[in-house]
Chains A and B, each alone.
Chain A
Amino acid sequence: MGIIDINKVTYEYIRRDEDGNVEGITTAVNGVSLNVKAGEFIAILGHNGSGKSTLAKHINALLVPEEGSVIVDGMDTADEDKTLSIRQTAGMVFQNPDNQIIGQIVEEDVGFGPENMGVPTKEIWERVEESLRTVGMYEYRKKSPNKLSGGQKQRVSIASVIAMHPKCIVFDEPTAMLDPKGRREVIRAARALNDVENITIILITHYMEEAIYADRIFVMEEGSVVMQGTPETVFSQVDMLKSYRLDVPEVTELAWELKKAGVPIKFPILTREELKEELIRLGKR
Chain B
Amino acid sequence: MLRDITLGQYYETKSKLHELDPRTKLVGTLIYLISLFMFTNAYVYIFAASFLLLCVLISRIPPTYMIKGMKPVIFLLVFTLFLNMLFTPGEVIFTFWKINITKEGVKQALYMGARLTLLIMGSNMMTLTTTPTRLTNGLERLMGPLKLIKLPVHEIAMMMSIALRFIPILMDETDRIMKAQLARGADFESGNLIKKAKSLVPVLVPLFISAFRRANDLAMAMEARCYHGGKGRTQMKPLKYRPADLLAYLVLILYMTAVVLIGKYL
Given A104-B132, A121-B238, A164 and B226 touching (CB < 8 A)? yes
User: In the complex, what residues of B have CB within 8 A of residue A94's CB?
Assistant: 217, 220-221, 224
Contact B236 A91 (CB under 8 A): no
CB distance from A124 to the nearest CB of B (A): 5
In the bound complex, what is the Cα–Cα distance between A114 and B233 (angstroms)? 9
Please give the residue numbers on chain B whose beta carbons come within 8 Å of chain A beta carbons, in ascending order. Answer: 3-4, 6, 131-133, 161-162, 164-165, 168-169, 213-214, 217-218, 220-228, 232-238
Majority secondary structure, B binding face: helix
Closest 7 CB pairs of A and B: A111-B236, A99-B217, A100-B221, A113-B225, A116-B226, A92-B224, A124-B236
A87, A113, A118, A146: the one contacting B232 at CB < 8 Å is A118
Given A91-B225, A112-B225, A161-B225, A105 and B236 touching (CB < 8 A)? no
In the bound complex, what is the Cα–Cα distance between A99 and B213 (angstroms)? 9
Majority secondary structure, A binding face: helix
User: In the complex, what residues of B have CB within 8 A of residue A114's CB?
Assistant: 234, 236
Contact B235 A115 (CB under 8 A): yes
Contact A102 B218 (CB under 8 A): yes
Chain B, residue nearest A116 (CB): B226
Chain B, residue nearest A63 (CB): B220
A57, A96, A116, A121: the one contacting B227 at CB < 8 Å is A116
In the bound complex, what is the Cα–Cα distance between A3 and B97 (angstroms)? 87
User: In the complex, what residues of A have CB within 8 A of residue B232's CB?
Assistant: 118
Q: Kindly list 12 other residue pairs between chains A and B, CB separation below 8 angstroms, not including A92-B221, A124-B234.
A: A62-B223, A88-B226, A98-B169, A102-B221, A102-B225, A105-B131, A108-B133, A112-B222, A112-B225, A114-B234, A116-B225, A116-B228
In the bound complex, what is the Cα–Cα distance between A84 and B229 (angstroms)? 12
Please name 17 pairs of A and B residues whose Cβ atoms are closer than 8 Å in the assembled complex, sorted by A.
A62-B224, A94-B217, A96-B214, A96-B217, A101-B165, A108-B236, A111-B236, A112-B222, A114-B234, A114-B236, A116-B225, A121-B234, A121-B237, A125-B236, A146-B168, A146-B169, A164-B225
User: In the complex, what residues of A have CB within 8 A of residue B161's CB?
Assistant: 104
User: In the complex, what residues of B have CB within 8 A of residue A132's CB?
Assistant: none
User: In the complex, what residues of B have CB within 8 A of residue A92's CB?
Assistant: 221, 224
**Does A212 touch B at the CB level, under 8 Å?**
no
Size range of the chain A interface in the assembly? 35 or more
**Does A160 touch B at the CB level, under 8 Å?**
yes
Chain B, residue nearest A112 (CB): B225
Contact A113 B217 (CB under 8 A): no
Chain B, residue nearest A98 (CB): B169
User: In the complex, what residues of B have CB within 8 A of residue A262's CB?
Assistant: none
Chain A, residue nearest B236 (CB): A111
User: In the complex, what residues of B have CB within 8 A of residue A102's CB?
Assistant: 162, 165, 218, 221-222, 225
Contact A84 B225 (CB under 8 A): no
B164, B218, B226: the one contacting A84 at CB < 8 Å is B226
**Does A74 touch B at the CB level, under 8 Å?**
no
User: In the complex, what residues of A have CB within 8 A of residue B220's CB?
Assistant: 57, 62, 94
Residue interface bits A143-177, CB-to-B below 8 A is 1, else 0: 01110000000000000110010000000000000
In the bound complex, what is the Cα–Cα distance between A116 and B218 (angstroms)? 15
B6, B168, B217: the one contacting A100 at CB < 8 Å is B217
Query: Which of B132, B165, B228 has the most C-beta atoms of chain A within 10 angstroms of its own C-beta?
Result: B165
CB distance from B87 to the nearest CB of A (A): 45
Chain B, residue nearest A128 (CB): B236
In the bound complex, what is the Cα–Cα distance between A125 and B3 (angstroms)? 29
In the bound complex, what is the Cα–Cα distance between A62 and B3 (angstroms)? 31
